[in-house]
Chain A
């Protein structure tokens, strides 16, 4: 998982404030949270920083396909066991007669469902990591022995 410091090390570190943030460190945090884009840092677009920009792009590439909550499902690692479907507290609350007791989901309110032997995330706004009262929930990552679910 990428850290703020890793991103900061690749930025110009001049605290020029052109991007609107007060420091480069603040910009790194926004970049990690996908609230800003690399192109908003104009000094890094200059030729002197070409290599650093490429490194930064490569660093942030894996999180490009992430959902709004930062969730990435790696289909090549997923075995479709459905542990996350049953373990997710949102699935349990929204589907007590289906996903909660280990059966197939009975409605569309669940976050996880298994399609073609691989898990697919939907209704991502229901995730406990989303919204105002978000919490750092690990309920879907912990039961996955292959590491197919990741938050960035």
Chain B
């Protein structure tokens, strides 16, 4: 059995058929996981200024760029193992650099609150064994974490939920569109307007307090009645909800207070984004957007978005991420004008503009390690096939040595 590094569910029941050192077949992994395990189509090669090179020279050049930089930033690590993330944080400390990951424009805000223990949370095993009401809010788990419903939440039978989805569980979807998850939650789909989450939460709090809500009273009262009856409910908070209420996040805390039987779980995309948040939190007390001086300083301006907007960085090291494909065009302009060092197993949009590219092993397939699942449980990743590529952890250690 191997662990799938496809998404933050980290399914550890995957069987892989290996034939003469190559992966021939994957079993039990979803399409997303199978694609990740089978590896990339275009493997990255070491380059310096778009010209072919070797690993040693690329590391030397990368060290040179970071040394000359006055304000470097380290970004990514969401697709790296915990061990590599720790090395990344050490490197940032050594350089006095900014460090950030994709969670600064993803679920970072929610994970920070969970790590600060502002929300009750549980493990996915608890969800399988106990949960009877599941709320997918601003999250399309069916597409983003394909095995979420079948492996942990809605369909399986659990210790206290022997009849599974047929009788013992209710799945509710709250979203701006009828996603594939909403299609499964037949009869319990609540469509809201974009940015309408705040209004919906306020109405729901009213309904839970015994008042008649001002917004769609019939539907909200019906939903509140289901939520009140829940013995063990879980709200799966997707990026849709986090984005929508990021200015006033405490409103979700107020809702959670009104629902004592409910747990909150972040729906994380990248397989080890939560791992990075936890590692940085352990080190500095913050989950992302940190600059190391004498101490760690946390500020919004140290997020990749603000740093690129204010043009406050002059070199960027990207490990296991592809900011070029997820950031807006206006921000990318500055990204293209500074030297970028890209550590990745595959050719990405970012690697195409990078000054230095350093290929690494596919973590969880060509190298082992540990990663943190979306619920905070540590899961071991196993090495499935042998490879000559260095792991991202080894590369970061060598980079530190070269500095």
Partner of A103 from the list B13, B25, B34, B149 (CB cut-off 8 Å) is B13
- A interface majority secondary structure: loop
B150 and A82 within 8 A (CB): yes
Within 8 A of B (CB), among A32-86: 78-83, 85-86
Chain A to chain B contacts (Cβ below 8 Å), 12 pairs: A81-B30, A82-B28, A82-B151, A83-B149, A92-B157, A100-B156, A101-B128, A102-B128, A113-B27, A114-B29, A115-B27, A145-B181
B156 and A102 within 8 A (CB): yes
Q: Does B281 contact A (CB under 8 A)?
A: no
B30 and A114 within 8 A (CB): yes
Residues of B close to A83: CB separation below 8 A: 149-150, 155, 184
CA distance A81 to B15 in the complex (A): 15
Q: Does A118 contact B (CB under 8 A)?
A: yes
A103-B13, A145-B184 are contacts. A81–B27 as well, Cβ < 8 Å? no
A100-B157, A145-B180, A146-B180 are contacts. A79–B150 as well, Cβ < 8 Å? no
Within 8 A of A (CB), among B19-51: 25-35
B34 and A79 within 8 A (CB): no
Question: What is the CB-to-nearest-CB distance from B186 to chain A, in angstroms, rounded to a whole number?
Answer: 8
Q: Does B147 contact A (CB under 8 A)?
A: yes
Q: Does B183 contact A (CB under 8 A)?
A: yes
A87-B165, A117-B32 are contacts. A80–B146 as well, Cβ < 8 Å? yes
Partner of B26 from the list A86, A105, A115 (CB cut-off 8 Å) is A115
Residues of A close to B143: CB separation below 8 A: 79
CA distance A114 to B30 in the complex (A): 7
CA distance A114 to B33 in the complex (A): 11
Interface size on A, residues (CB 8 A): 25
A116 and B13 within 8 A (CB): no
CA distance A87 to B180 in the complex (A): 17
A81 and B33 within 8 A (CB): no
Q: Does B380 contact A (CB under 8 A)?
A: no
New contact pairs (20) apart from A116-B25, A145-B181, CB-CB < 8 Å: A79-B30, A80-B30, A80-B146, A81-B149, A83-B149, A87-B150, A92-B164, A100-B156, A101-B157, A104-B28, A113-B27, A114-B30, A115-B25, A115-B27, A116-B26, A117-B29, A117-B32, A143-B149, A143-B150, A145-B180
Q: Does B69 contact A (CB under 8 A)?
A: no
Residues of B close to A146: CB separation below 8 A: 180
A81-B150, A87-B165, A145-B180 are contacts. A101–B158 as well, Cβ < 8 Å? yes
Question: What is the CB-to-nearest-CB distance from A26 to chain B, in angstroms, rounded to a whole number?
Answer: 37
- Most chain B CB within 10 A, of A79, A102, A114, A145, is at A102
Residues of B close to A118: CB separation below 8 A: 31
Residues of A close to B151: CB separation below 8 A: 82, 86, 102-103
Within 8 A of B (CB), among A6-27: none
Residues of A close to B30: CB separation below 8 A: 79-82, 114, 117
Question: What is the CB-to-nearest-CB distance from B351 to chain A, in angstroms, rounded to a whole number?
Answer: 25
Q: Does B262 contact A (CB under 8 A)?
A: no
Instruction: Give 1 or 0 for each of A115-131: 1 = CB within 8 Å of chain B CB.
Output: 11110000000000000
A116-B34, A117-B29 are contacts. A145–B147 as well, Cβ < 8 Å? no
Residues of A close to B13: CB separation below 8 A: 103-104
A79-B146, A81-B146, A117-B35 are contacts. A104–B27 as well, Cβ < 8 Å? yes
A81-B150, A145-B142, A146-B180 are contacts. A86–B156 as well, Cβ < 8 Å? yes
Q: Please, which residue of chain B has its CB at the minimum distance from the CB of A106?
A: B13
Q: Does B152 contact A (CB under 8 A)?
A: yes
Question: What is the CB-to-nearest-CB distance from B374 to chain A, in angstroms, rounded to a whole number?
Answer: 15
CA distance A12 to B131 in the complex (A): 58
Q: Please, which residue of chain B has its CB at the minimum distance from the CB of A99?
A: B156
B156 and A101 within 8 A (CB): yes
A86-B155, A87-B155, A103-B151 are contacts. A78–B183 as well, Cβ < 8 Å? no
| Interchain residue pairs A-B with the least CB separation, the first 9 | A102-B156, A117-B34, A117-B31, A104-B13, A145-B180, A80-B30, A81-B146, A82-B150, A86-B155
Question: What is the CB-to-nearest-CB distance from A143 to chain B, in angstroms, rounded to a whole number?
Answer: 6
Partner of A80 from the list B25, B31, B152, B155 (CB cut-off 8 Å) is B31
Partner of A102 from the list B26, B142, B152, B183 (CB cut-off 8 Å) is B152
Question: What is the CB-to-nearest-CB distance from A60 to chain B, in angstroms, rounded to a whole number?
Answer: 29
Partner of B142 from the list A81, A115, A117 (CB cut-off 8 Å) is A81
Question: What is the CB-to-nearest-CB distance from B189 to chain A, in angstroms, rounded to a whole number?
Answer: 12
Residues of B close to A101: CB separation below 8 A: 128, 156-158
B31 and A79 within 8 A (CB): yes
Question: What is the CB-to-nearest-CB distance from A75 to chain B, in angstroms, rounded to a whole number?
Answer: 10
CA distance A104 to B29 in the complex (A): 9
B128 and A85 within 8 A (CB): no
CA distance A116 to B15 in the complex (A): 10
Question: What is the CB-to-nearest-CB distance from B247 to chain A, in angstroms, rounded to a whole number?
Answer: 32
B180 and A117 within 8 A (CB): no
